[in-house]
Amino acid sequence: MKQAAYGDFVKVHYVGSLEDGTVFDSSQGGDPIEFVIGDGDLIPGFEEALVGMSAGQSKREHIPVDKAYGAHRPEMVGQMDRDRLPPELELKLGQQLVVTHPEGHRRRVTITDITDGAVTLDANHPLAGKDLVFQIDLVEIGPGSAPLIVPG
């Protein structure tokens, strides 16, 4: 039976949770996700967990911070004067905004604190600094496989 390898096109169902069991994402009840292993579209630990699996196989995989979204970086947290935001914007803790930098690139940020004069914005991925747990079900290793050069 074929085993998944880098460069293979796969269809996967998953449930992603934190170590305490809190589910943060799932494909259950919908279509499986489709991607090529090694393209870098998903976190490295998730792609690595698929290598060697066969279609129809399931596994539970613990993915450490360094193979997930990386460490939480304090330098990606900063304050913005409240008056730089539209006055009609109702701000809430945990709310996500898209900020456009002067150079033109856009970044999603999360509001982590609100005072009368300032808003604290965190540009880290919401799952940065966390170990993750995935229940992975490899549905199919499909056509579309292509050789890939994977860094060693």
Give per-residue burial for 26-36: e unless 16+ CB within 10 Å, then b: ebeeeeeeebb
Q: What is the pLDDT of residue 100?
A: 85
- Cα angle 38-40-43, degrees, rounded to a multiple of 5: 105
- Flag residues of the chain having pLDDT under 70: 143-152
Burial class from Cβ neighbours inside 10 Å (0-12, 13-18, 19+) for residue 133 reads middle
Q: What is the pLDDT of residue 20?
A: 96
Q: What is the pLDDT of residue 37?
A: 95
> 6: closest CA among 32, 39, 46?
39
Domains of the chain (ranges plus CATH)? 9-70+127-142 (3.10.50.40), 74-122 (2.40.10.330)
Q: What is the pLDDT of residue 87?
A: 87
Distances (CA, A) of 129 to 22, 52, 65, 67, 72: 15, 27, 6, 11, 5
Q: What is the pLDDT of residue 144?
A: 58
